[in-house]
Amino acid sequence: MNSKDRVLTATNIKEPDRVPLFVEVVPEVEQKLYKKYKLKGNELLTFLGNDIVNCAVGVADSWGKIYRGENEVDEWGIGWKTAKHSSGEYTEIIYKPLEKASFEDLKSYKILDPEDETRYSEVIRLKEKFGDKYAVMVDLSCTIFELSWYLRGMDNLLMDMLTNKKFVNLLVDKILEFYIPAAKKLAKIGVDIIWIGDDVGMQTGMIMSPEMFREFLEERYRLLISEIKRVNKNIKVAFHSDGYITPIINDLIEVGVDILNPVQPKCMDPAEIKEKFGKDLCFMGTIDEQETLPFGKIDDLKKEILERIQTVGYNGGLILGPTHNVQNDTSIEKIEVFFSYVKEVGRYPIRLGNKKV
């Protein structure tokens, strides 16, 4: 079974030969790995053991360019800066083009052209180079809510959702004027997974009420996913949200989400999430990036990997990886152990002690 077959089997909630892997790293970590392996990007991560190749389209690609230092104002008009911290460099928004916009201003705000074929050149390259052996995933995350507050400002947007609903409805619908055609193009190209989503969770609760999520976001996700699957019914849709989002997981299932990412263990118990929702969802992530990877010992990492495989990986439906890009405070040794240990202990059938499950 090659990597592509392994991933697609897992996304169908069936047992592949072993638990598939998907890891992303920040540029500082990539540079350290480059010094050792002389490889970068998907070429590096598939060499280490990734079963998925990935690139971004939309605002996820825009802020990725900022992160790499290519420019300071992205094509949406959002201004960014790079802030240096002890553990690395991170991007911060310093200008929001719609922060003071009126409804009339919003009507004239120009959305990106989804027909620009240059946006999809890396997708096509990955499909041609890796598509026979690896699952090809395209990141369209920060899809609606996050891009909305990047443009408007978080405080303004949340207040708008209470007192200026007409503005919010127009804003999110304008955003979909880019994301729906872009997603349909990706479906026609024939990628395996389209990764959408927005951070609507915090460490112990949601940023907004479930009712507000349903009012402004749920039906937009349903429309987006239905348009993707109308073009190609075999594409899997992954949904990303950091934090605690248990109250809306059933909603995500209902609108057509196939894969939930990252199932952050400091916010939700992955074993409980598997038990409640595992018949309908594949889970991507689940390994703690807040404590275990940066600060835990090698044995702590191995213990968590084995626990996730046993409690989330049974019956398939798990793509194992960190719950965020691996940060600069994680050692190269731990990254290498992560890949090697999953390959060692992640073989099916999964066993709990001597008991097959």
Domain of 129, CATH number, reads 3.20.20.210
Q: Letter for the amino acid at 221?
A: Y
State how far the Cα of 152 lies from the Cα of 182, in Å rounded to an integer. Answer: 22
Characterise 138 by phi-psi region: left (phi > 0), alpha (psi -120 to 50), beta (else). beta
Domain carrying residue 51? 3-56+113-350
Is 139 in a helix, a strand, or coil?
A: strand
Q: Letter for the amino acid at 87?
A: S
Asked if residues 240 and 195 have their Cβ atoms less than 8 Å apart, the reply is yes
Asked whether residue 84 is assigned to any structural domain, the reply reads no
Asked whether residue 32 is assigned to any structural domain, the reply reads yes
- Contacts of 188 by beta carbon, 8 Å cutoff, 6+ apart: 231, 232
State both tokens at 290: 């807040």
Phi, psi (degrees; rounded to nearest 5) at 288: -65, 125
Asked whether residue 95 is assigned to any structural domain, the reply reads no
Asked whether residue 341 is assigned to any structural domain, the reply reads yes
Is 256 in a helix, a strand, or coil?
A: coil
pLDDT at residue 67, as a whole number? 64
State both tokens at 338: 């992560």
Nearest C-alpha neighbor of 75 from the set 112, 118, 108: 112
Asked whether residue 146 is assigned to any structural domain, the reply reads yes
DSSP output for 299-322: HHHHHHHHHHHHHTSTTS-EEEEE
- The total number of structural domains in the chain stands at 1
CA atoms within 13 A on the CB side of 257: 27
Asked if residues 257 and 240 have their Cβ atoms less than 8 Å apart, the reply is no
Asked whether residue 61 is assigned to any structural domain, the reply reads no
Integer angstrom CA distances of residue 215 from 194, 209, 218, 303: 24, 10, 7, 41
Is 230 in a helix, a strand, or coil?
A: helix
Integer angstrom CA distances of residue 196 from 79, 138, 241: 23, 9, 9
pLDDT at residue 353, as a whole number? 42
Asked whether residue 267 is assigned to any structural domain, the reply reads yes
Nearest C-alpha neighbor of 319 from the set 279, 286, 292: 286
CA atoms within 13 A on the CB side of 237: 29
Asked whether residue 39 is assigned to any structural domain, the reply reads yes
pTM check: above 0.85: yes
**Residue stretches of the chain with pLDDT short of 50:** 353-357
Nearest C-alpha neighbor of 315 from the set 60, 15, 32, 83: 15
Nearest C-alpha neighbor of 239 from the set 229, 251, 252: 252
Looking up tokens 């104002």, which residue turns up? Answer: 73
Burial of 63 (0-12, 13-18, 19+ CB in 10 A): buried
CB atoms within 10 A of CB 98: 22
